[in-house]
Amino acid sequence: MEAYLDNSATTRCTESVRDAVVRAMMEDYGNPSSRHQKGLDAERSLREARETLARTLRVSEKEIYFTSGATESNNWALIGAAAANRRAGMHLITTAIEHPAVLMPMQYLQEQGFRVTYLPVDSAGQISLDDLEQAICDDTILVSIMYVNNEVGAIEPIAEAGKRIRARNPRILFHVDAVQAYGKMPVYPKTLGVDMLSASAHKIHGPKGIGFLYINERVKIHPLLLGGGQQKGMRSGTDNVPGAVGLAQAAKEAYANLEEERRHFLELKRRLMEGLAALPQVVIHSQPGEQGAAHIVSAAFPGVRSEVLLHALEERGVYVSAGSACSSNKKQPVSAVLKELHLRPELLESTLRFSFGRFTTAEEIDYCLQTLAQLLPVLRRYTRH
């Protein structure tokens, strides 16, 4: 048996996404910039994909830009908006638990002379709105806060943060990395007071290498990629029509089944958390039920290093991650996010993340729990004290 519990790293495509991508590659293969019928057909597919995404967010299709994924979306939102607004101020705010696709551009901007405030989080992984309010100053031009943390599943108070930012200064731009929220919960930027929002297809059963950045029409932002002038000159590069069509299909399916999927995830989460709590010495970091994301459970197994447990599980067909797979090329997998939760060192080094997707079953959860129950006593016996 196999249990793929690493859906926050990436997901398997659905068959209808695959069919849509293949159709775009084999039939609608024209370049949307070409002025003949093949080009016009491809342009129509691109426009329909953009309209589908805009409907899921309740925004205008003019505000959707395709990118190569959320890493590009985040880089563009932060670097592009900082460059376009530097005359208004040089101060940026983010959280200490962002994905590296936000933290690294922030570090780059610091090197360019911007000042960055990193908001701390509590033991549940949430920022304090008072800290946010206190951090805002006359020089602040941009705030970037993730919607759902990819390692522990903490949900940040985005709507409240949007309100507080607007109340202090409506000209401050608010960017949200919604990679782990989009397709899992309703996300309406205009209601939330969000000016820019990043999402990625491969987290919602779409293809890899495609995502989007929502940019409110009022936002001043510089392009990062210059060239042939595609996407109104804001993001040059031949349009990835198969990717865009696949992303739109995945988004359509995610939002058509939102409530059903949410209930499915909550049931899997309850089953996994109860099973983990029944194992000796397990410490669960994620908040139960709807207090945290329904599809992410993070837990520590003191006495066993996460890498060792991960590979022992893998040998038995159980796939999970230590920290987050998308940011863990480093040899030492101690996570910066978990450090921010002020966990004891033995918890930091023994944490695994379990994450669900549409295809995850209760049988997979049970198989994972049984395998953990067999492995943990054996592996703990070999740990040096």
Which active-site residues does the annotation give?
326
Is 233 exposed, middle or buried, given 0-12, 13-18 or 19+ CB atoms closer than 10 A? exposed
Name residue, tokens 């304090």.
128
CB of 226 to ligand PLP, least distance (A): 21
Instruction: State which residue, 76 or 367, has the beta carbon closest to ligand PLP.
Output: 76
Residue ranges of alpha helices (H) inside the chain are 15-26, 37-57, 70-75, 81-84, 100-111, 129-135, 158-168, 189-192, 241-256, 258-277, 306-315, 336-340, 345-348, 362-381
Between β-strands 296-300 and 351-355, what pairing exists: parallel, antiparallel or unpaired? antiparallel
C-beta of 89 vs 207, nearer to ligand PLP: 207
State in Å, rounded, how far the first CA of the chain is from the last one.
Answer: 34
Yes or no: say if 234 and 34 are a contact pair by the CB < 8 Å rule.
Answer: no
Cα within 13 Å of Cα(114), Cβ side: 30
Tell me the C-alpha to C-alpha distance, in Å, between residue 347 and each of 298, 302, 330. Answer: 11, 6, 19
Closest separation in Å from C-beta 139 to ligand PLP: 26
The C-alpha atoms of residue 70 and residue 74 are separated, in whole angstroms, by 6
Q: Which residues sit at the interface with ligand PLP, rule CB under 6 A? A: 69-71, 99, 101, 146, 150, 177, 179-180, 200, 211, 324, 326
Q: Which amino acid is at 53?
A: L
Q: How many CB atoms lie within 10 A of CB 173?
A: 27
Q: Which is nearer to ligand PLP, 306 or 324 (CB)?
A: 324
Cβ 124 to ligand PLP shortest distance, Å: 17
Q: Which is nearer to ligand PLP, 70 or 173 (CB)?
A: 70
> Is 49 or 369 the residue whose CB approaches ligand PLP more closely?
49
Q: Smallest distance, Å, CB 300 to ligand PLP? A: 20
Q: Cα–Cα–Cα angle for 174, 180, 181, nearest 5°?
A: 65
- Hey, which residues does 213 pair with through a beta bridge? 65, 198
- Which of residues 200 and 286 has its CB atom nearest to ligand PLP in the complex? 200
If the CB atoms of residues 200 and 371 are measured against ligand PLP, the closer one turns out to be: 200
> Of all residues in this chain, which one has the CB nearest to ligand PLP in the complex?
69
Task: Name the residue nearer to ligand PLP (CB basis): 351 or 371.
Answer: 351
Query: Least distance (Å) from ligand PLP to the CB of residue 58?
Result: 22
Closest CB 150 distance from ligand PLP, rounded Å? 3
Report the alpha-carbon distance of residue 102 to residue 98 in Å, rounded.
Answer: 6
- 115: part of which helix (H) or strand (E)? strand 115-119
CA atoms within 13 A on the CB side of 119: 25
Minimum distance, C-beta of residue 99 to ligand PLP, in the bound complex (Å): 4
Burial class (CB in 10 A: 0-12, 13-18, 19+), 84: middle
DSSP codes, 198-251: EEEGGGTTS-TT-EEEEE-TT-----S--SS-TGGGTS-S---HHHHHHHHHHH
> Cβ 70 to ligand PLP, closest distance in Å?
3
